[in-house]
Amino acid sequence: MVLKNLRGSERISWKASEHRMDPNKVSQYPSCHPTDIPMDDVSDFLQKISDENNFRLYVYIKVTIGYYVQSHVQATIYLIISSFLFVMSMWSLAKTLFTKVGRVPEKYRPSKELEDRLKAVTPYENNRYVVEKSTPVQLKQQNIILEEMCTFCKVVVAECDQVGRLKYCYECGHIKPDRTRHCSSCGKCCIKYDHHCPWINMCVTHANYKYFLLYIIYTSILVYWYLLTSLEGAVRYFIIQKWKEDLWKILYYLFSFIAGGVFGYYPLGELIIFHYQLISLNETTVEQTKPAVLRFDNAADYNMGKWNNFRAVFGWGVWMWPIESNEQDGLHFDIRYVSTQQRNRFVRIEEEQSSSAPSADSSTH
């Protein structure tokens, strides 16, 4: 497949089709642990969301539907649509919160002997390993050891750091699969890490990214639906002209309208626009600020075209439902390389790795 980037230059795409997972088995992450969030924090967050939504629902049902809307058919339609959007929003939020966070499998953890050798050639200051202060000799030694780790673990990774060094997490003690990042808030590595969301106090990763997007999408639609249908009540207030009797209703309206309008655009509206741009480029939030560097080809990226990028997040069919539909495992990703020469060079490296790992556990990109 030959695709073009925004500048029109051709790229050679190489699909990791052998790693395309059965959608029925994707949810069986061998390395995913339950969310590491205290249940009290989750309960407090859900209670706050519930209180805010209860107020909006009260104003909408009691005032808009129960008082200003004159037609029973119209009121029923309004109630059905708003209830559907509310249920979808809360369902998506629950799936975001309670879906297991994708962690790095144990097969990416090297032997203790290799780990000790790597740490011995890495500068150590202030109780942490400082790779940035490594000398050229140390960097060369580190890369040799990291290659040995990949051979030992029978894995192949495409990403490296700015100096061409394979990625390793000294805190978690394992090789980092592609697009994996260490979350400083959680203190653990997450596969296809997007960001640590302060709203829900947990990581948004490969496992729950779709649900997070659906939550902000349905919540935004719900807010705009409230605002749009509530305009009728505001108009009727001036038509009926019961200034004193309906004053409390219009004050509720005014507060709800301002709060909903602000909340509907910022941060929800801005988030949707931002993540649409990320999906179009097949980037995560952290990759937007610090792009991934792929071995042998600094210009390569994960952008496989808008449709394929959309499918990588939402899967097939049930796009707008908070149901598992991932086709990828969060560890292997399709890559666009600039030239055939560089692509073949990487394939040869993979074949050398695979020749020493004929078992089913061996992986390629």
Does 158 lie in the same domain as 254? Answer: no
Q: Are 327 and 311 in contact (CB under 8 A)?
A: yes
Does 215 lie in the same domain as 93? Answer: yes
**Exposed e or buried b per residue across 57-91, where buried means at least 16 C-beta atoms within 10 angstroms of its C-beta:** eebbbebbbeebbeeeeebeebbeebeebbebbbb
Q: Tell me, what's the pLDDT at 140?
A: 93
Whole-angstrom Cα distance, residue 227 to residue 270? 18
- CA-nearest of 348, 249, 252 to 295 is 348
Q: Tell me, what's the pLDDT at 298?
A: 78
Question: Is 198 part of a structural domain of the chain?
Answer: no
Does 220 lie in the same domain as 285? Answer: yes
Does 299 lie in the same domain as 233? Answer: yes
Does 309 lie in the same domain as 210? Answer: yes
Which whole-number Å values give the CA distances from 45 to 90, 95, 97, 233, 236, in the listed order? 12, 14, 10, 31, 36
Give the DSSP letter string of 123-157.
-EETTEE-GGG--HHHHHHHHHHHHHHHHHHT---
Domain end residue (candidates: 161, 176, 191): 176
Q: Tell me, what's the pLDDT at 85?
A: 93
Does 119 lie in the same domain as 80? Answer: no
Does 115 lie in the same domain as 96? Answer: no
Q: Tell me, what's the pLDDT at 47?
A: 47
Q: Tell me, what's the pLDDT at 76?
A: 87
Q: How many structural domains does the chain have? A: 2
Provide the residue range defining the domain that includes 131.
106-176
Give the DSSP letter string of 259-307.
HHHHHIIIIIIHHHHHHHHHHHHT--HHHHHS--EETTBTT-BS---HH
Question: Is 19 part of a structural domain of the chain?
Answer: yes
Does 300 lie in the same domain as 222? Answer: yes
C-beta neighbour count of 230 within 10 angstroms: 23
Mean pLDDT, 10 residues at a time, over the chain (365 residues)? 33 40 38 43 49 62 69 85 92 93 92 95 91 92 95 93 89 94 92 90 92 93 84 74 70 71 73 93 92 85 91 88 88 81 51 49 41
